[in-house]
Structure 1
Amino acid sequence: MNPRYLMLALLLVVGVAPLLLPPYYVTLLNYIGMYALVVLGLVLLTGVGGMTSFGQAAFVGLGAYTSAYLTTTEQLPAWLAWAGTSPWLTLLVGVVLTASVALILGALTLKLSGHYLPLGTIAWGLSLYYLFGTMESLGGHTGVGGLPSISLFGLKLDKGENIFYLIWVLLLVAIVITQNLLNSREGRAIRALKGGQVMAESMGVNTFRSKMVIFVISAVFAAISGWLYAHTQRFVNPTPFGLNMGIDYLFMALIGGVGSVWGALLGAGILTMLKQWLQDWLPHLLGNTGNYEIIVFGILIVVLMQRAPGGLWPLLTRLIPARFKVRAKAQNIDASATPLPRRQLPKHGELILEARHVTKRFGGLVANNDMSLEIRSGEILALIGPNGAGKSTMFNQLSGVDTPSSGDVLFMGQKINGLNSRQVARMGMSRTFQHVKLLGNMSVLENVAIGAHLRGKQGVLSAALHLDRREEAELLSEAKRQLERVGLGDYLYEEAGSLALGQQRILEIARALCADPCLLLLDEPAAGLRLKEKEALGILLSRLRSEGMAILLVEHDMDFVMGLVDRVVVMEFGQRIAQGLPEDVQKDPAVLEAYLGGVE
């Protein structure tokens, strides 16, 4: 459904709700708005970035307690006294403090992976929760009362129907900011975190920075929610900021759709309303009181994860008639966008890449042993060998994914041992992968645009405020040009995961070309291609060679290789056993022995 229509519908509902609903339901909507703000951060962090956090409630507490302390403490330090004069100033302090804490906690925990990351968030979430309860200046477990109400343009927002509009306006602003961010260069980098980090790093994306960005944003959203909560209740204690509430926030995200911006609002609404109804109904049905709603929620979550693992929002969007669904259109790409600046390719025959006596050991296993090769501008070099010969290991060392145990790799005359793949990509090397690495739910166009990440400069703030449109048009226009160049111009807006394997490999080449490299590393690009597709690929690679690009090709299809490349290097058991012109290598006894098991 068109986000603009959703926004207009939400604005209409928000505008009339306090006028039509009883105060009880207005209060419930206030809580839904505050909860949705926290869940929106979880959508970014967990649904988009793939990082599960149980500690968001602690960030809510930071925002709430910062404002509570500053507005109720009589003798603030002189350097901080200014902040206690208005709740709006405490919001500023709370956001800065929460962002600072998030930076520290992110640096400590975001390098963890697997189950260690959520365990880490539980650890610091509990730590902050107990900190709130043990500090006497924060009222201990008793809490802090007497918070002032928020004033806006002389109007005191001391009632639910008054603060209602502030809560929902802030939520709508957060939704717009999130959507703007996701539909940008920075957003593509963030979406690549879930299942595509190796690919993203090879395209120049600083994945740790992207993780930190969404971690801080989600913490700031939570802090704003905490500030609203504190001045709505005008009282805070540690209870709403514990691990149980952190789990509730995750439940909200799961119910609504952890990967959907609008799912945050849906999940917060369903869980909040359902909890209230169950708390009212179940005691009457069962004849006694208790936390029966927790049992019901547990059962519902299990059923939901089985029947609709993506949450309810994607399920609802599938029920919408096709004519009401949004589909990206070609005119969204500005045909008048300025072409991105191109790299000056080296002179024909100039040495581009050189490997000198490269050895790679994994414990007692020697994957590459004293490997040497070189490739020059305007040349296609094939690296071939039987399965297990060490080609992929060598490929990874040349591209910065791995580091040689000994020996040197020089690119454009500079030693790149120890440089990461992101730094190597910035120098002008781009690659594809043996096992296709695409973001299946993203469009073909957006997948290729990731390759141009290093060619853009606009940051997170520009993306969030929608000030990056000119650069975005240039990046998408470049992605479209490269897709048309490789013959996928008719698939711009298809989901990348829906393409055939051969088309996905061609898409990877388009993505690599979008980085404007002077050296292209292709890992089995012809695998899965039909004859006509291989012929088209050969024509494309020949054209790139004539333009002065250097191409290193790892391939098993000998017919494809021998009719295309200029030179061949053959590997077996991690060593080079032959090199030279294709026709000479095909006659080499060592090569025949490796491939055919011997000659008579």
Structure 2
Amino acid sequence: MKFELSPKVLMIVLVVLLALAPLVLKPYHITVLNYIGLYSMVAIGLVLLTGVGGLTSFGQAAFVGLGAYTTAVLTTASDLPGWLAWMGWSPWLSLVAGLIVTGTSAYLIGLVTLRLSGHFLPLGTIAWGISLYFLFGTMGLLGGHTGFGGIPPIAVFGYELRQGHQIFYLIWLFVLLAVITTLNLLDSREGRAIRALKGGMIMAEAMGVNTARSRMVIFVIASLLACASGWLYVHMQRFVNPTPFGIHMGIEYLFMAVLGGAAHVWGAIIGATVITVLKQWLQDILPAIFGQAGNFEVIFFGALLVLILHRARGGLWPILTSLTQRVVPVRAEQRQIDRNVEPLPSRELPSKGELLLDAREVTRRFGGLIACNRLSLEVRAGEILALIGPNGAGKSTMFNQVSGVDVPTSGKITFLGKDVTGKTSREIARMGMSRTFQHVKLLPTMSVIENVAIGAHLRGNRGVLSAAWRLDRQEEKRLLAEAAKQIERVGLGDYMFVEAGSLALGQQRIVEIARALTSDPCLLLLDEPAAGLRYKEKQALAELMRKLSAEGMGILLVEHDMDFVMGLVDRVVVMEFGEKISEGLPEEVQKDPAVLQAYLGGVE
């Protein structure tokens, strides 16, 4: 039986330990724990941004600085403009202002930065991180590089939090809220879209996910967590200068997330703890060994990062959970599927024979290569059309033109009577077209049901705030019930809670079909769905496709197994070198000399 540490158990243990800490620890240790909490909040944002979303950022320290300087200026300045001064800025009001300023800044920065990809994205975050750091140091209003003090303490119900042990509980309350909020968000419709950003963006767009929006969401959330950390920091220190908000701290925050486990929310706390404690020890130990000159702890951290990347790329959190399970095994919570919820509304399928897809003279050029050359085909409701041809004939390229993954060089594609040429796959998916891929595009570490539920993204509408505070639970039950229904429909009910990456290739292809069906399409595009399936599994797949066709769904199929195709489909279109060489009924196409020449080298 598989065991893993339950988040609820972890939360209870952490709350108890934190409640007891100020009663038994020395002031020095409380101060260290305060810094761990502050760093953890930034690292949690980086787990969401980098570990889950795949967006590397070195600039989070600058967002910490925005939160810190906003509250520092508003709570100390005596010469604010009238429209600001009348509010009488308390630390709590300045927190709201800091979140607004930081969130707006992150949105504007994200509009430019998130358009970058590859190594340009982290370089972009370094650029604006350095810019904000020097902005803090050069503006006279902000005290320059010297900084300024006199910042008031935070007051809770009239009780001022002036000492480390007094602000301790507030810092860790914020950390726990950040953990709960992030875990809730990831366990939702919005969270599945976010988790698809790393390695599954083409698939997610084809399922209707607005990946640009999801990238912006996690970028802004990470900045808000950093802002809250800066707000707490500056009211704990009662002094602010630019030093803690430089690029070196941005690198250190990223190091915390990676060390703890970049894909694990709890790993952020582990990483922040290890780095903070090590830094304190090394600052005492290394100078005694090597002398006072030099930042030897930086060298040590660099070597440690290289070691971690070699030996434990998943970070310390997976290692700790594995070790803990041997001592205190905790049964993993298995999601319960509510079968009694109201089913999701379904679209009315077109009447049998109605024209669904009409592609005319579609051409796609890649430089001097013509992958599709003036190809035309049509699919009607209740019909199964096979698009076949030798390897490299251009079948998958045509699929990409039809589904909006790629844009035709010329030609016209009409779906349900509307011109969709050049529209995004997300727009086309919303109209009722869904697809699978030649090369399976699943998220291997997510369960089968979570992968399939991504297909239902457009059938829900609850947003980020609803997900973060569990206000979306009724809709989530309906989405998961639909996903479970489609998994059972394709015959994989026994694998519902298994990691998708652990399935055989043929089973993964069936999972993709279930995901496509969960979107409630009227036209289904299947790219080599029978590849890797055994004989009985192919029979079951063929029966499912016949049933879907009988219900009025149109199916466009690419497949290499001719026995499977010819006994199943209504019509066949044959491609060779990007052009259509034959079209007709299966028995007609099999006798076509052009087809025999393409497949067998001649009529003989």
Length-normalised TM-score, structure 2: 0.98
Show CA shifts across 1:18-51 (max 9, x none): 1111101100100000000000000000000000
* Cα distance between partner residues in 2 of 1:102 and 1:337: 39
* Cα distance between partner residues in 2 of 1:133 and 1:178: 33
Deviation at 1:324, TM superposition (A): 2.6
Query: Which residue matches 2:599?
Result: 595
Length-normalised TM-score, structure 1: 0.99
* Cα distance between partner residues in 2 of 1:358 and 1:6: 56
Query: Which residue matches 1:329?
Result: 334
Deviation at 1:327, TM superposition (A): 3.0
- Mapped pair 1:516 → 2:520: yes
Query: Which residue matches 2:36?
Result: 32
Match runs of 1:6-21 below 5 Å: 6-21=10-25
Q: Is the 8 A contact 1:99 1:219 kept in 2?
A: yes
- Mapped pair 1:236 → 2:240: yes
Query: Which residue matches 2:123?
Result: 119
Please point out which of 226, 231, 234 is paired with 1:222: 226
Match runs of 1:484-503 below 5 Å: 484-503=488-507
Please point out which of 405, 411, 414 is paired with 1:407: 411
Q: Is the 8 A contact 2:357 2:413 kept in 1?
A: yes
Letter in 2 for 1:521: L
Letter in 2 for 1:383: L
* Cα distance between partner residues in 1 of 2:355 and 2:323: 58
Q: Is the 8 A contact 2:63 2:102 kept in 1?
A: yes
Determine helix, strand or coil for the equivalent of 1:52.
coil
Show CA shifts across 1:189-237 (max 9, x none): 0000000000000000000000000000000000000011111111110
Letter in 2 for 1:324: P
- Mapped pair 1:259 → 2:263: yes
* Cα distance between partner residues in 1 of 2:54 and 2:511: 24
Match runs of 1:500-579 below 5 Å: 500-579=504-583
Farther off after superposition, 258-267 or 317-326: 317-326
Deviation at 1:402, TM superposition (A): 1.1
Letter in 1 for 2:312: A
Deviation at 1:328, TM superposition (A): 4.3
Query: Which residue matches 1:396?
Result: 400
Letter in 2 for 1:507: V
Q: CA RMSD in A?
A: 1.0
Structure 1 residues without counterparts, runs of 5 or longer: none
Q: Is the 8 A contact 2:6 2:333 kept in 1?
A: no
- Mapped pair 1:282 → 2:286: yes
Determine helix, strand or coil for the equivalent of 1:161.
helix
Letter in 2 for 1:327: A
Please point out which of 433, 458, 461 is paired with 2:462: 458
Q: Is the 8 A contact 1:456 1:475 kept in 2?
A: yes
- Mapped pair 1:352 → 2:356: yes
Query: Which residue matches 1:130?
Result: 134
Please point out which of 209, 216, 229 is paired with 1:212: 216
Match runs of 1:376-395 below 5 Å: 376-395=380-399
* Cα distance between partner residues in 1 of 2:177 and 2:86: 27
Deviation at 1:326, TM superposition (A): 4.3
* Cα distance between partner residues in 1 of 2:428 and 2:465: 27
Q: Is the 8 A contact 1:83 1:90 kept in 2?
A: no
Deviation at 1:83, TM superposition (A): 4.7
Match runs of 1:333-344 below 5 Å: 333-344=337-348
Show CA shifts across 1:369-397 (max 9, x none): 11111110001000001111111111100
Deviation at 1:513, TM superposition (A): 0.1
Deviation at 1:329, TM superposition (A): 2.8
Query: Which residue matches 2:157?
Result: 153
* Cα distance between partner residues in 2 of 1:575 and 1:93: 61
* Cα distance between partner residues in 2 of 1:246 and 1:343: 48
Deviation at 1:292, TM superposition (A): 1.3
Q: Is the 8 A contact 1:83 1:93 kept in 2?
A: no
* Cα distance between partner residues in 2 of 1:125 and 1:341: 46
Q: Is the 8 A contact 1:23 1:161 kept in 2?
A: yes
Q: Is the 8 A contact 1:328 1:493 kept in 2?
A: no
Show CA shifts across 1:328-368 (max 9, x none): 436x1112111111110000111110001111112222111
Q: Is the 8 A contact 1:70 1:83 kept in 2?
A: no
Farther off after superposition, 372-381 or 310-319: 310-319
Letter in 2 for 1:62: L
Match runs of 1:63-82 below 5 Å: 63-82=67-86
Deviation at 1:84, TM superposition (A): 4.6
* Cα distance between partner residues in 1 of 2:87 and 2:240: 19
Please point out which of 413, 423, 430 is paired with 2:427: 423
Letter in 1 for 2:279: K
Farther off after superposition, 291-300 or 449-458: 291-300
Determine helix, strand or coil for the equivalent of 1:321.
helix
Determine helix, strand or coil for the equivalent of 2:198.
coil
- Mapped pair 1:187 → 2:191: yes
Deviation at 1:5, TM superposition (A): 1.0
Determine helix, strand or coil for the equivalent of 1:570.
strand
Letter in 1 for 2:77: T
* Cα distance between partner residues in 1 of 2:496 and 2:502: 12
- The number of residue pairs the alignment matches comes to 599
Letter in 1 for 2:329: F
* Cα distance between partner residues in 2 of 1:565 and 1:287: 79
Letter in 1 for 2:583: Q
* Cα distance between partner residues in 2 of 1:557 and 1:133: 67
Show CA shifts across 1:44-100 (max 9, x none): 000000000000000000000001111121111111114553011111000000000
Show CA shifts across 1:486-527 (max 9, x none): 000000110000000000000000000000000000000011
Q: Is the 8 A contact 2:51 2:262 kept in 1?
A: yes
Query: Which residue matches 2:371?
Result: 367
Structure 2 residues without counterparts, runs of 5 or longer: none
* Cα distance between partner residues in 2 of 1:397 and 1:371: 11
Determine helix, strand or coil for the equivalent of 1:85.
coil
Determine helix, strand or coil for the equivalent of 1:324.
coil
Letter in 2 for 1:245: M
Letter in 2 for 1:403: V
